[in-house]
Chains A and B, each alone.
Chain A
Amino acid sequence: MSILVDETKTVIVQGITGREGMARTQLMQRYGTRVVAGCTPAKGGQDVLGVPVFDTVMEAVEKMGSIDVSTIFVPAPLVKNAALEAIAAGIKLLVIVPDRVPIYDVLEIAAAAKDAGARFIGPNTLGLLSPGRAVFGMIGGSASSAKDWFLPGRVGVTSRSGGITSSIAYYLSRAGIGLSTIIHVGGDGIIGTDHPAVMELFESDPDTDCVVMFGEIGTSQEERVADLIASGKFTKPLVAYIGGKGAQSGTRFSHAGAIIEGDRGTHDGKVKRLREVGATVVDNFGDIPDAVKTIIRPMETAKIPIIE
């Protein structure tokens, strides 16, 4: 099992005729994702990599039957409309890849998603991947890298940084620790599915034994994960690393979310809260695989990849 992502789910790519949309469609297809439709307004009737393109998401659903997931690769100013369209067409999981989506647009998407019982990942996300099964978004960059780098197993990974999602997953795989699902929740301050929401999903996934979380300064996500542990809503072992220790001067680095705001959001505050509730917080990023190993026996199924 996995959370949210597997090879049975049908996927539409919004913005499929663009540079990114096309490249990522190829990645998803080659990895095993069921891409059934694409959408670019006024370009209906074409076909991209064997995928039929429709003018609207509604039309795609009309012609192809209901679709489970939309991956969105349109320019940031157009994301709101694309996401609302997908929600209106009945799609229940959206993966919003672009960054720099205005906050109030995200809030509107969030309100619509809540009413429709839909969920979104991102914005500013590489997406999510379940090793050997499927990828929604662009984790790994190419299917062959994604196949090489990430091995199946029973550890979940959730991260606010895209590159770090890949590196944690790669370093764990290399250490013989396989993965159930890896998810980049997105680098922005306001995101659809944040660390606490992911924890709840991992909690109810029978095939995830342990979770690794990459947190960062800014937002209240990591503190709310600690709240979940404290209230018994997340009971699996958690290994965490919090980035941005040296960034306390108050400068914002690339992630829109990585800003200290008030008491919550500081590096030390997050580390302290998580340790108080019993999570393993490592000080060195490189210590993550060992920390996970001491918690779970490495999965025999995960083979050590050959590294040139």
Chain B
Amino acid sequence: MVDNALCHCDIGSPGRATNRSKVIMARLHEYHGKQLLREAGFAVPKGQVVRSQGEVPAALAISGLPAVVKAQAWTTSRAAQGAIAIADNAGDVTAAAARMLSLKIGGFDVTEVLIEEKVDINREFYAGIVVDDANKTPVVIFSSIGGSGIEELARKYPKNVSKTPVDVRFGLREYEAREAVRKTGVTGSLQNELTKALLTLYRVARQWEARSAEINPLVLRGDGKLVACDCRITVDDSAVFRHPELKIEIAREFGRPPTALDKIAWSVEKDDYRGTFYFIEMARGYKKGEGFIGFHGAGGGGSMMSMDALVKRGYTIANFTDTSGNPPASKVYRAAKIILSQPNIDGYFGSGSGVASQEQFHSARGLVKAFWEENLSIPAVIRLGGNGEDKAIQILTEYTKNLPAPVEGYKKDDTADFCAQRMQKLLEAQPDKAAPRQMALPVTPDFTAKDPYSFETPTGKVVLDHALCRECQTKSCVQTCVPQILKNQDGVVVLNISREDAKAGKCIECLACEVECRIGGNSGGRVILPIPGLEEYRAKIMGA
């Protein structure tokens, strides 16, 4: 509905700060949004963002005094959290900026503070563009009585708040913008100015593909000029690829800056369009034995349900992960490695909708490779219901028998609740829950082949040790390679396609040539799948 996203007013008027459920998206910081508005010809307060105390004088030279000091944080209640201050002299500005730069908001450090001129407010308006999910159009919302609690205002004073649907193919017309303003009782030259403001705001929203763009408050200054005093622009994360100049680090909707592990995960996902991998760290600073679980879901709906099942049993979700949409085994493997880079999780829980369309043995192979490499010492419960589930569960459970911790696999007839119950049983049976877990370092175990034969895959490489292959009776990799691109040639296994084709995607990274090779009692096949940054990350936390 149109009134969905109209909930942020947090500037300048501490008493009116709202504190609603957060809207979490690929959103821009206030100063970044203002920069886009300014470039489009909108007036914004003079100012500059600072990242250290030392930068304050330069910012003050632009803003002048008195100044408003505003921590740049994705929260709806900055004023209530001491993240907005008004100061009359340079000393107070510096002190406020220094204080804010040491603030933690929502558990994350404030790293940027905006210093800008204090605007002399004559009258406040609200202008916003949101996307209406019911009518599937952009909607312009305008209020002639400010925007604090816009939903409430729209209900109470319908005459002062207008909502105008826009035909996305033609954009907002001048007459439509004017009518939006006129309906709220604004006349004369102010009507002209506000009409122009709405047209500019729509242009900015459309250009940058904002799911929502709000100016709140839109201030009529003492001198009669309209100024955007605060703004929130949220870019559609599916459109981020069309706007590299925004330098959005991760096109994902986070409620906080990404963590180092979030970034590592994103680097895996970024250029790999085969299926979806989604990772967010949801807890930090916990200890082993406190009931934090590494979560690996498949599909949004099933994942949420599966997390609910764990939470009901008193566990906390350490991370949210989703690998779905038919991802290759390599992607599931990397997801598992990243989940297992959280040293203090007590268990590994994998569960999605339970009846997946994708062939689940790919996921099983990815998990098995990761669990082997990590020599898994925390219990894992994995539900891999759906296509190929029998094979998937066999791979998962048979091949992990010799690991220090139990790995249980379940199918579509087992509920998420039942799996959560199994997780609980296994965790309770752990002799020493607080015992630290060793993470594999190097992340990918070394593989030195005596007689290596290797080729590149889309995101890594396959190495076959022909010295071992020669001794191998089964040649199981040849039969199990899903796309059937390997052949036995004079006692060793080689590609039956060109190297270029393998790299271009004919090798689907199903991991059979490693996992099935090992299961067959051999060890000549290895798939090496680097995860940029993970080595350093692990070294750092293990050193700490």
Residues of A within 8 A of B (CB): 20, 75-77, 99-104, 106-108, 110-112, 126, 138-142, 145, 149, 159-164, 166-167, 169-171, 174, 187, 189-192, 194, 214, 216, 219-221, 223-224, 243-266, 284-286, 307-308
Contact = CB atoms under 8 A, between A and B. Distances in A.
B417 A286 contact: yes
B1 interface: yes
Nearest to A255: B300
Contacts of B151: 262-263
A110 B326 CA distance: 27
Contact of A251 (B137, B282, B322, B354): B282
Interface of B: 1, 3-7, 20-25, 131, 133-134, 136-138, 151, 167-169, 206, 209, 211, 236-239, 241-242, 253-255, 273, 276, 278, 280, 282, 297-305, 307-308, 311, 317, 320, 322, 324-326, 352-359, 385-387, 390, 412-413, 415-417
Given A107-B136, A224-B134, A265 B355 contact: no
Contacts of A249: 255, 282
28 contacts: A77-B242, A100-B238, A101-B238, A102-B209, A104-B168, A107-B137, A112-B169, A161-B300, A163-B299, A166-B357, A167-B353, A171-B355, A187-B301, A191-B133, A220-B134, A221-B133, A223-B1, A245-B308, A248-B21, A254-B322, A256-B253, A260-B23, A262-B151, A264-B3, A264-B4, A265-B4, A266-B21, A286-B417
Contact of A167 (B7, B133, B354): B354
Given A111-B167, A252-B25, A104 B239 contact: yes
A103 B301 contact: no
Contacts of B1: 220, 223, 262, 264
B236 A104 contact: yes
A247 B307 contact: yes
Contacts of A100: 238
A252 B278 CA distance: 11
B136 A161 contact: no
B281 to A, nearest CB: 10
A251 B253 CA distance: 8
Contacts of B317: 246
The 5 closest A-B pairs by CB, nearest first: A161-B301, A163-B353, A141-B357, A163-B299, A254-B300
Contact of A258 (B280, B304, B307, B416): B304
A187 B445 CA distance: 38
B302 A164 contact: yes
A243 B357 contact: no
B307 A216 contact: no
A88 to B, nearest CB: 14
The DSSP consensus for interface residues of chain B is loop
Contacts of B276: 99, 254
A103 B253 CA distance: 14
Contacts of B25: 252, 259
Contacts of A307: 413
A253 B320 contact: yes
Given A259-B25, A285-B415, 14 more contacts: A102-B242, A107-B168, A111-B136, A111-B168, A142-B387, A167-B355, A167-B385, A171-B355, A192-B136, A221-B133, A246-B307, A246-B311, A254-B299, A264-B4
Find the residue from B6, B151, B355, B359 having the highest chain A CB count within 10 A: B355
A258 B24 CA distance: 10
Contacts of A160: 301
A262 B7 contact: yes
A9 to B, nearest CB: 21
Find the residue from A163, A223, A256 having the highest chain B CB count within 10 A: A163
A192 B211 CA distance: 17
B358 A250 contact: no
Nearest to A250: B22
A5 B137 CA distance: 27
A1 B308 CA distance: 36
A252 B415 CA distance: 24
